[in-house]
Amino acid sequence: MTPRRWRVLAVLSIAAVLAGSLAPGSTGGGLPAGADKLLHAVGYATIAVSLSGARRAETGRALVSVVLAAALLGVGIEVVQPTVGRTASVLDAAANLLGASAGAVGWWVAT
């Protein structure tokens, strides 16, 4: 895939995570226990893979920057969530970091 298509995927995945994370009053009430953490991890893995593709990340330093950017996005979202009636969670932020790390490792293995 071209870097441009990776950028489009990155924008779409970030927009999906923002929409799902900041929808007022939206909760994972109907999900089994812990399933929301899996959704966090998958969302941030997708962000990390798409950002890695957009940057054509080939070095450890580039991949670390992708993970940090995704993790900072997650922390920022957690900080903002109480303003839209949601609850901030350190466990959600940890799931975001683990997902971003898994996505970056997946990119590294695949390239």
Which long-range CB contacts under 8 A does 2-10 form with residues at least 24 apart? 3/53, 3/54, 3/55, 3/56, 5/53, 6/50, 6/51, 6/52, 6/53, 6/54, 7/50, 7/54, 9/46, 9/50, 9/53, 9/54, 10/47, 10/50, 10/51, 10/53, 10/54
What pTM was estimated for this model as a whole? 0.92
Dihedral sign (CA 98, 7, 14, 9): negative
pLDDT band of 25, cuts 50, 70, 90 = low
What is the predicted pLDDT for the residue at 32? 83
- Residue 29 or residue 65, greater confidence: 65
pLDDT band of 33, cuts 50, 70, 90 = confident
Give per-residue pLDDT as tens, 45-79. Answer: 999 999 999 999 999 999 999 999 999 999 999 99
